[in-house]
Amino acid sequence: MAAAPNVAILAAGQGKRMRSALPKVLHPLAGRPLAAHVLAAVRNLGPRAIAMVTGHGAQAVETALAAPDIRFVRQEPPRGTGDATRIALSVLPPDGITLVGLGDVPLVPPEALAHLVDLAGGERLALLTARVREPFGLGRVLRGTDGNVRAIVEERDATDDERRIDEINTGFIAAPTARLAQWVARLTPHNAQGEYYLTDIVAMAVAEGVPVVAHTVTDEASVAGVNDRAQLATLERIVQRRHAHALMTAGTSIADPERIDVRGRLTCGRDVTIDVGCVFEGDVHLDDGASVGPYCVLRDMAVGPGTRIEAFSHLDSASVGRNCRIGPYARLRPGTRLAEDVHIGNFVEVKASTLGAASKANHLAYIGDATVGSRVNYGAGSITANYDGANKHQSVIGDDVHVGSNCVLIAPISIGAGATIGGGSTIVGEAPAGQLTLARARQVAIPSWQRPRKAPKPHEPR
């Protein structure tokens, strides 16, 4: 492989067809901005330096993509890809090879870029091209009778015959940096757009006798750009099918590979099962034998072996131990840690709490900012009242505690091991270990009481 290249990524465009306040290169694909995918591809080359040209929404782009290895430079006003390349070269080393690419072509393969850099290493201008079924709107690659590349013509400037050509320019080029700088300095805006086209350097190279070579990719999707939301959705499904195929090849069962969304990194052990409509965000690991029911959302999760997550559950930044049962309709919020054999049932929410082995909260409950021991049975309708309007407070519930239904545990509070909290109690002080604690009004029956009656409506019989 050739020496490490300089890299210029052009990301200044507004993306008008996205019809969005968000700059185009920040629209998410599989959970990451479009330009982040391009950055990941070029980083595989071990570049000497990376310059990213920003323009529309520059501050938002620079904030979202900031990294120690990126030098941002702004193009104001926007004057085309040639002008953007000239600006990028002003902050890159003046020697070696420079690779220029677009921030809205997210699936470009690193190996194709590496090959492009290698081709340019012999004092040549190298282009990444593709043959596509529908070239409308894209720059066409013009070749001579000898088959060599002679020029690139943009759609708006092409003749009818040229528009019938199906080989297109992908927007990625590599060239010796010194020559590239000379070429872009000589560009003129004599075209339908009144812009400085980077593609005009091809004709300059040919005129100077510099070889122009092309690496043509066969996978059309790998060089597809994003200009509108429909194209973005098309690429999203391509990425998700790739994720699903890789997971299934590695032994994961996926009920429908067309209905899974991995918006980050999902790793699975052996014999993992994933039902339809699930979304995985951030970094998620499912251990051996884990299963995820339909329409669940997992974000930054570690799920232990044999654990079953039932339908419509939302789990965020938590860890779940071995052989747990979660859901359906359960919610685990950040900071939750469950030991083995824990049951969290329907409409139960747990936040910033730990639950020991074999503890259960099976329905309609809230546990927040609590340390819960092992083998605790937490009744339906019970909550930890952990917030006083200004501060969060801790609850400590010992091993083998039984909390009855519809209880309120007002933190800070401590419930001793083996204690029982009677149903309907509001507990404000320490509950002693091994004892029954009650805090509710005495039941009273009033024999002479009469329930109020509504006055009949005029049309109703008395």
For 114, the 3-state DSSP assignment is helix
Specify the pLDDT at position 193: 80
Specify the pLDDT at position 2: 63
The label of the residue with tokens 């060239």 reads 175
Is there a catalytic annotation at residue 363? yes
- 112 has pLDDT over 90: yes
pLDDT: which is higher, 443 or 339:
339
- 333 has pLDDT over 90: yes
Specify the pLDDT at position 365: 98
- Mean pLDDT, residues 335-342 taken together: 98
Specify the pLDDT at position 363: 96
- Mean pLDDT, residues 131-155 taken together: 90
The full set of domains in the chain, from first to last, is 6-223 (3.90.550.10), 229-437 (2.160.10.10)
Specify the pLDDT at position 113: 97
Specify the pLDDT at position 459: 76
**pLDDT band for position 456 (cuts 50, 70, 90):** confident
- Mean pLDDT, residues 361-371 taken together: 98
Burial of residue 132 (CB within 10 Å: 0-12, 13-18, 19+) is middle
Q: What is the 3-state secondary structure (H, E, C) of 302-338?
A: EECCCCEECCCCEEECCEECCCCEECCCCEECCCCEE
- Mean pLDDT, residues 320-342 taken together: 98
| Count of other CB atoms within 10 angstroms of residue 58 | 19
Instruction: Report the C-alpha gap between 335 and 349 in whole angstroms.
Output: 12
Specify the pLDDT at position 455: 84
Q: Averaging pLDDT over each range in 77-81, 151-155, 289-293, which range is the top one?
A: 289-293
Specify the pLDDT at position 98: 98
Beta pairing, strands 167-176 & 125-131: antiparallel
- 126 has pLDDT over 70: yes
For the segment 340-353, what is each residue's pLDDT rounded down to a tens digit?
999 999 999 999 99
For the segment 367-392, what is each residue's pLDDT rounded down to a tens digit?
999 999 999 999 999 999 999 999 99
Burial of residue 409 (CB within 10 Å: 0-12, 13-18, 19+) is buried
For the segment 195-236, what is each residue's pLDDT rounded down to a tens digit?
999 999 999 999 999 999 999 998 999 999 999 999 999 999
Specify the pLDDT at position 402: 98
- 265 has pLDDT over 80: yes
Amino acid at 86: R
Specify the pLDDT at position 442: 87
Specify the pLDDT at position 218: 87
- Mean pLDDT, residues 122-129 taken together: 94
Question: How is 277-292 classified by DSSP, letter by letter?
Answer: TEEEEEEEEE-TT-EE
For the segment 388-441, what is each residue's pLDDT rounded down to a tens digit?
999 999 999 999 999 999 999 999 999 999 999 999 999 999 999 999 999 988
**pLDDT band for position 177 (cuts 50, 70, 90):** very high
**pLDDT band for position 462 (cuts 50, 70, 90):** low
- 362 has pLDDT over 60: yes
Specify the pLDDT at position 460: 67
- Mean pLDDT, residues 260-281 taken together: 98
What is the pTM (predicted TM-score) of this model?
0.90
Specify the pLDDT at position 70: 98
Cβ neighbours of residue 276 closer than 8 Å, sequence gap 6 or more: 255, 256, 259, 260, 294, 295
**pLDDT band for position 1 (cuts 50, 70, 90):** low
Instruction: Report the C-alpha gap between 148 and 83 in whole angstroms.
Output: 26
Catalytic-role residue among 27, 37, 215, 363: 363
**pLDDT band for position 176 (cuts 50, 70, 90):** very high
Specify the pLDDT at position 451: 87
- 137 has pLDDT over 90: no
Cβ neighbours of residue 193 closer than 8 Å, sequence gap 6 or more: 80, 154, 156
**pLDDT band for position 311 (cuts 50, 70, 90):** very high
**pLDDT band for position 191 (cuts 50, 70, 90):** confident
Instruction: Report the C-alpha gap between 400 and 394 in whole angstroms.
Output: 19
**pLDDT band for position 122 (cuts 50, 70, 90):** confident
H or E element, residue 89:
helix 81-89
Specify the pLDDT at position 201: 95
Specify the pLDDT at position 461: 65
